[in-house]
Amino acid sequence: MSKDFKSGDLVAQQVQRIPRSGIREFFELVQGRKDIISLGVGEPDFVTPWHIREAAIYALERGRTSYTSNLGLPKLREVISQYVGESFGVRYQAKSQVLISVGVSEALDLALRAIVNPGDEIIYHEPCYVSYAPGISLAYGVPVPVPCLAENGFAVTAEAIEQAITPKSKALVLNFPTNPTGGTMTYDALKRIADLVKEHNLLVITDEIYSELTFEGDHISIASLPGMAERTIFLHGFSKAYAMTGFRIGYACGPPELIDAMMRIHQYSMLCASIISQDAAVEALENGTGPAGEMKDEFRLRRNYIVSAYNDMGLECQLPRGSFYAFPSVQSTGLSSNEFASKLVQEEGVACVPGNAFGPSGEGFLRCCFAAGLEQIKVACERTSRFVKKLKTAGG
């Protein structure tokens, strides 16, 4: 006998509660319009370097079309272990401490599902990448956001985190450089957070996907601080630094017990990442000009241009110290993030993401990705400036 579902019963409650991504929601509105300049989606406008694409083609030519081990190709785990050791100062055993995932997206989901018991509180800084709060909820955890302020360069302070800690706190999620604000952390600020984490016996999940796109100072991983590697899951991938978003390759490094727990979820849900993409990832790390390469210099130019353009038109904008996002404030216009972004796209054909898509503390801001070409950025800025002038005139 078939069961009749009442309206509202069909979808699991924890799924009903999560919203659609504010980025996708906004982009469905603008899809198909050729006149629009998009500073929206967060991916490099560069195509994956040729030698990496060639490695993928070569994998196909050799008939490398099988599954790999659940943890990923041993060779890829070895080169990752070496790269992370040299670049981030943390040594992970390739055999037991590195897991290859389908992008950082999957690694984040695995990390949360591996550590969260129902009701555990997971602290994260906000505005933040759109997956964090839904990912925590889907793992039956309780998302606890800690706002990051523009006046602190969007860095998070140990004091703010301390206020959010309760006996139910299990872990802290960090993402520096930050999507969407471009915030980074100094060694001293990270050290204070590391001390707090140890004092309260918390775990850390650190998403360092933008680390190679650090423009000011050196990138420091919290995993490299004394006593932290044993309580940190380090997440990284190839999407941003090698313009490999479509290859879907990420990785997690951490204590063997946690990597094994993540691998057990991964083996039943995903099995393994694509072998073709894994071969390409080996090539990315072994050969070529290194991560970010010439993209980084180009992004720095674009960043400097866009930030000064926003400040000149009266939209206060901090210099993002990393990532490829500018996060100007639209508060001076009197419009909300959504109003500003919707009118800007309708009236001037420039698409940016409203800041509140990254959590309530992003309200009043706009995320503008400067991974678009400089010429396009220039036109987008001219149009935005014209739009702001119109608003001022209309407002008297």
Ligand X SMILES: Cc1ncc(COP(=O)(O)O)c(C=O)c1O
Binding site for ligand X (CB under 6 A): 42, 103-105, 129, 175, 179, 207, 209, 237, 239, 245, 250
CB atoms within 10 A of CB 269: 12
Listed in sequence order, the residues at least 6 apart from 304 whose beta carbon sits closer than 8 Å to its beta carbon are: none
The Cα 391–Cα 350 span in angstroms is 15
Q: Which CB atom, from 222 or from 388, has the smaller least distance to ligand X?
A: 222
- 8 Å CB contact between 247 and 48: yes
Tokens linked to 396: 């008297």
Closest residue to bound ligand X by CB? 103
341/375 Cα distance (integer angstroms): 21
- The minimum distance between CB 83 and ligand X, in angstroms, equals 16
Structure tokens at 207: 């998403």
Nearer to ligand X, 245 or 311 (CB): 245
d(CA 293, CA 314): 33
The nearest distance, CB 127 to ligand X, in angstroms, is 11
In the complex, least distance from residue 208 CB atom to ligand X, rounded to whole angstroms: 9
Nearer to ligand X, 52 or 309 (CB): 52
Asked if the bond preceding 44 is cis, omega within 30° of 0, the reply is no
CB of 149 vs ligand X, minimal distance in Å: 19
In this complex, which beta carbon is closest to ligand X, that of residue 237 or of residue 359? 237
Shortest spacing between CB 23 and ligand X, in angstroms? 9
Q: How far is the CB of 42 from ligand X (least distance, A)?
A: 4
- Find out whether 111 and 208 touch, Cβ atoms under 8 Å: no
Q: How far is the CB of 21 from ligand X (least distance, A)?
A: 11
Which CB sits closer to ligand X, 245 or 336? 245
Pick the closer one to ligand X by CB: 103 or 127: 103
Nearer to ligand X, 92 or 210 (CB): 210
Minimum separation from the CB atom of position 209 to ligand X (A): 5
